[in-house]
Amino acid sequence: MELELAKLAAGLSLAPATVERWIRQGRLPVRQKGGQCIFSLSSLQKWAVANRMTFVLPGQAPPGEPGNQADTLSDAMLRGGIFYDTEGDTIEAVLHSAVSRIHWFEEGAQKQKLLESLLAREQLMSTGIGRGVAIPHPRQPIEMIAAPPLITVCFLRAPIDYHALDRQPVFVLFVLVCPSAKSHLRLLARLSYCLREETFVDFLRRIPANDTFYEKIREVDSRSDGHGKSWERI
């Protein structure tokens, strides 16, 4: 099957630059010939499922609008990624480092806009929720690209003053970026429920490895079902 790069990127809800880079790196089962992308539809769909993504052909109805996706925390975090030794000794510096890791946004204007949105939210009120944890997020949904809800987890190289209410230095960020208010509130409620458990925060302080982290987040998140709540003040 053949599709233009822009249409293939739209079908995967990725930036065209990201798709082009992944093709060059051999991360996508796609090859480029001129301005066209050539691939096996079944192979690409299997790849998307294996990577917790969806691929929608142009003209087809998506399985659900981004704001209606019943994502789990592990779904969102698999898309956003977990990163260690995030650098920075100020809020702006660590957010800049965090945004640089989010591949759903193109380098340049898109990432700059996201960074500005996160910093603007911090000026209203710190997203440091206490016990060394912060949940940076834009005040308004990000609509620059058709990205699904995602959470990028960044363990800091060194804790920083994040102006949290309890004045404890922050050692981990959960950067929450969603295309709709509905998906934002759903994931924020699930994440907040997990972070209420002291044992889970203690687990985070041990800076767990990827596999251990995802196993734990699935376990704790499963207990949040049925306890949804809008944590609008965070």
Task: Give me the active site residues, please.
Answer: 137
Residue 29's closest CA among 48, 4, 5? Answer: 48
Q: Which residues, including other chains, have CB under 8 Å from residue 138's CB and lie 6 or more apart?
A: 114, 117, 118, 120, 121, 177
Extract the tokens encoding 108: 């340049």
Please compute, for residue 182, the number of CA atoms within 13 A of its CA located in the half-sphere on the CB side: 9
On whether the CB atoms of residues 172 and 210 are closer than 8 A, the answer is: no
In angstroms, the CA 142 to CA 181 distance is: 10
Burial of 153 (0-12, 13-18, 19+ CB in 10 A): buried
Distance (Å, whole) CA 88 – CA 94:
4
